[in-house]
Amino acid sequence: MKILLSKPGLDGHDVGVKVLAYALKDAGFDVAYTGLRKSVEEILEMAQKQQADVIGLSILSGTHLIIAEHFRNCMKERGIQIPWVVGGNIPARDVDPLMKLGPDKVFPTGTQLKEVVEYFKSLT
Amino acid sequence: MTESTKKEKLKEVFLESGIPVKPVYTRKDVEDCRMEEELPGQYPFTRGIHAEMYRKRPFTIRQYAGFASPEETNERFHFLLENGQTGLNVAFDLPTQCGLDSDSPEAYGEVGRVGMTVDSLEDFEIAFQNIDLNQITVSLTINGAAIVLIAMYFALAEKWGYDISQLRGTAQNDILKEFIGRGTWIFPVDKSVKLVVDTIEYCAQHVPKYSPVSVCGYHIRESGANPVQEMAYAFCIAKAYSDGSLRRGLDIDEFASRLSFNFDIHGNFFEQVAKFRGGRRLWAKIMREEYHAQNDNSCWLRMIAGGGGGGLTKEQPENNIIRSAYYALVSALSGTQTMALCSYDEAYTIPTEKAAELSLRTMQILIHETGVCDTADPLGGSYYVEALTSRFEEEIREEMIKVEAWGGIEQAIETGKIQESVSRQAYIRETGLQQGTIPKVGLNMFVREEEAKPVDFHPYNEEAANRQIAKVRRLREHRDNAKVNKLLAHIREDAMADRNLMPSIIAAVKEYATVGEVIGVLKACYGKFQEPIFI
């Protein structure tokens, strides 16, 4: 399974997403990373090009609801139907509103690495 | 049981930097140290940059704070001045940090979210309204777009009739660390360094009391680096800016004393103290022996050293109050010039006023009740601390040689070598914390069931963002656009001719060219950084 981890928006905090990338690689996944400050459109293009099976969005600046909504709309427009997940600095009270925007899973603040790895294993 | 088998039973101890620790240190461990000759205020300044240290003046307390709009920032300035304070750190929102105007499509949803928005000089005029710029020192926490914001501050001062040769203040303006952590880079590495050097050169010649750069080991450490790497990478970065400035024909003593540093404190107590003492000695030697600095203050490792968020936990957050008090003690025992502490609730939410006040009180108790300010370098002469100090000096130097082997700091950043080494360590540390091999009270030992923490952000103020967007659009209609375009063309010419950009940027922002427009011109000339992906 190919996982594309991404950093949408202007937020430059990438320690978490890189740590997760290493953890997923150690667990045997094929992982690609977009790098910082990618637009939703760029992320989807990379996902198609690299034939990703799942996309992860890492957002720590508080813009998760805005970005997730835009992401959902762009996926619809392009007819892309693959699982996507959101993680980062996500307050617990935003988990439900976020889930309503269509991601397959939200990993709020404080999620353990192994929980995320287990989730991706459950997709295979 | 014989003595030797007893020894074998003691567990081995290694510091985070990989240095082994003996169960006891004696005079033998410091035979090579010249500790009896070293004095505070004397080269190589291991024991502190001033002779009397805090006896004369305690360290400065400076807390970081973000306010969304220029209007709120102005209110805060007035409040601080009325309460006898003279300095403020200004945080900027992400569009400003990345050189985008509020109405740029990429800025959508980010305007005013994590700090003050600045589109043009108009915003600075509001933020500093009725403030005597000679009375305050403003610290601009800006990197990618730093040259524009620094130019804007000088433009404001000139416009209001101040003599900029007397102007004080600081800017973070350390772009190389942004490539390693924090991530608000814009231009390719060499052009990014060129812009920093432009500000150093301009300040040395026109604004000599201004500190144009604060080199940040802090963010490098927060991104995963160990304490040796934190210092080594910061020194490599400071050397890169110095080398660039020397190539402009400046003398080292014309700018070195205005370079300052920002470091992180968490982890092993003695390791941090040795890091600062050894680092201070090494930096002094680098400045004197390699750069031939004549002035003592060119050799000073002037620093802000504060308790880092990396040591705090979301679990049992009250424990962070205790941790922060230790970090503050480390900072004072290490001879810092300025101190800042993260609030105990900062690991999971926006600090409450109560938490921010506790941080302030922690530092005040340290100054007034504990006696740490009575005598300079109270740990000086300890066998352990002195031996470790010398070891740190060596280790930092070796780590710097490693960077040289990667082709120097700029190349090591372009290829991603540094970023990879730092993020690998972040992974090892995170795994260690989650598996419990790195002990952390409340996280992986002495854990108790806790209620979920109220993680929170400032609610996004869409109305305020729209007001800001309307403001910049109105500005573009009402300013003298022919003049602005001509001045932007000047910046382009200067960039292509590789001249110092400060004069043309100051001229353009005086006529209300926006941050996004100036950065846009430079993007067209320089291109953008291509981030190396090593995962």
B6 Cβ partners below 8 Å, 6+ apart?
Answer: none
**Segment among B4-8, B92-96, B303-307 with least mean pLDDT:** B4-8
- Is residue B475 assigned to a domain? no
* pLDDT at position B350 over 80: no
pLDDT in tens, B468-503: 999 999 999 999 999 999 999 999 999 999 999 999
Confidence class for position B455, pLDDT limits 50, 70, 90: low
- Which one, of B129, B118, B139, lies nearest residue B159 by Cα? B129
Tokens found for residue B390: 């010398």
Question: B484-489 contacts: CB < 8 A, separation 24 or more?
Answer: B484/B508, B484/B511, B484/B512, B484/B513, B484/B517, B487/B511, B487/B513, B488/B513, B488/B517, B488/B518, B488/B521
- Is residue B142 assigned to a domain? yes
Mean pLDDT of chain B: 93
- Is residue B482 assigned to a domain? no
pTM: 0.95
pLDDT in tens, B47-56: 999 999 999 9
Terminal CA-to-CA distance of chain B, rounded, Å?
Answer: 52
Largest interatomic CA distance in chain A: 35
Mean pLDDT of chain A: 95
* pLDDT at position B9 over 90: no
- Give residue B81's pLDDT: 76
* pLDDT at position B6 over 60: no
- Which one, of B300, B302, B312, B301, lies nearest residue B265 by Cα? B312
Which has more confidence, B345 or B147? Answer: B147
CB spacing of A33 vs B178 below 8 angstroms: no
Q: Indicate the helix (H) or strand (E) that contains B361.
A: helix B353-369
* pLDDT at position B222 over 80: yes
- Which one, of B211, B198, B209, lies nearest residue B244 by Cα? B198
Chain A residues 63-102 with a CB less than 8 Å from chain B: 63, 66-67, 89-92
Question: Residue B38 burial by CB count (10 A; 0-12/13-18/19+): exposed, middle or buried?
Answer: buried
- Is residue B526 assigned to a domain? no
Q: Which of B93, B110, B180, B413 to mutate to test the interface with A (most CBs of A within 10 A)?
A: B110
Chains A, B: CB contacts within 8 A come to 95
Tokens found for residue B495: 């960039």
* pLDDT at position B3 over 70: no
Type of residue numbered B5 = T
Min Cα distance B49 → chain A (Å) is 34
CA within 13 Å, CB half, B81: 17
Please give the domain boundaries of chain A with CATH numbers for all domains: 2-123 (3.40.50.280)
Min Cα distance B287 → chain A (Å) is 33
Which has more confidence, B483 or B139? Answer: B483
Which has more confidence, B208 or B451? Answer: B208
Is A31 an interface residue toward B (CB < 8 Å)?
yes
- Give residue B443's pLDDT: 93
Q: Which of B427, B451, B515, B534 to mutate to test the interface with A (most CBs of A within 10 A)?
A: B427
Q: Which of A17, A33, A34, A37 to mutate to test the interface with B (most CBs of B within 10 A)?
A: A37
- Is residue B327 assigned to a domain? yes
- What residues of B are in contact with residue A108 (Cβ under 8 Å)? 455
Type of residue numbered B366 = L
B272 Cβ partners below 8 Å, 6+ apart?
Answer: B227, B265, B266, B330, B334
| 8 A C-beta contact, residue B340 and residue B375 | no
- Give residue B4's pLDDT: 54
As a whole number of angstroms, the distance between CA A114 and CA B449 comes to: 19
pLDDT in tens, B193-206: 999 999 999 999 99
* Residue length of chain A: 124
Please report, for the domain that includes residue B238, its CATH number.
Answer: 3.20.20.240
pLDDT in tens, A29-83: 999 999 999 999 999 999 999 999 999 999 998 899 999 999 999 999 999 999 9
As a whole number of angstroms, the distance between CA B266 and CA B262 comes to: 14
Min Cα distance B392 → chain A (Å) is 26
CB spacing of A22 vs B424 below 8 angstroms: yes
Confidence class for position B286, pLDDT limits 50, 70, 90: very high
Q: How many CB atoms lie within 10 A of CB B446?
A: 12
- Is residue B71 assigned to a domain? yes
As a whole number of angstroms, the distance between CA A117 and CA B317 comes to: 26
- Is residue B234 assigned to a domain? yes
pLDDT in tens, B306-337: 888 899 998 999 999 999 999 999 999 999 99
- Give residue B1's pLDDT: 47
As a whole number of angstroms, the distance between CA B296 and CA B302 comes to: 12
Q: Which domain holds residue B415?
A: 44-435
Question: Residue A77 burial by CB count (10 A; 0-12/13-18/19+): exposed, middle or buried?
Answer: exposed
CB spacing of B183 vs A21 below 8 angstroms: no
Q: Which residue of A has its CA nearest to B452?
A: A92
B511 in helix, strand or coil?
Answer: coil
Three-class SS of chain A? CEEEEECECCCCCCHHHHHHHHHHHHCCCEEEECCCCECHHHHHHHHHHCCCCEEEEEECCCCHHHHHHHHHHHHHHHCCCCCEEEEECCCHHHHHHHHCCCCCEEECCCCCHHHHHHHHHHHC
- Give residue B75's pLDDT: 86
Strands (E), B102-252: 137-141, 169-171, 210-211, 213-216
pLDDT in tens, B69-78: 888 888 888 8
Question: Residue B398 burial by CB count (10 A; 0-12/13-18/19+): exposed, middle or buried?
Answer: exposed
Confidence class for position A109, pLDDT limits 50, 70, 90: confident
As a whole number of angstroms, the distance between CA B52 and CA B342 comes to: 28
| 8 A C-beta contact, residue B517 and residue B486 | no
What's CA B441's distance to the chain center, in Å? 28
| 8 A C-beta contact, residue A64 and residue A90 | yes
Min Cα distance B264 → chain A (Å) is 16
- Give residue B5's pLDDT: 53
Is A111 an interface residue toward B (CB < 8 Å)?
no
- Is residue B132 assigned to a domain? yes
Looking at the DSSP bridge assignments, the partners of residue B20 are: B14
B310 Cβ partners below 8 Å, 6+ apart?
Answer: B221, B222, B264, B266
Q: How many domains does chain B have?
A: 1
**Residue B341 DSSP label:** B
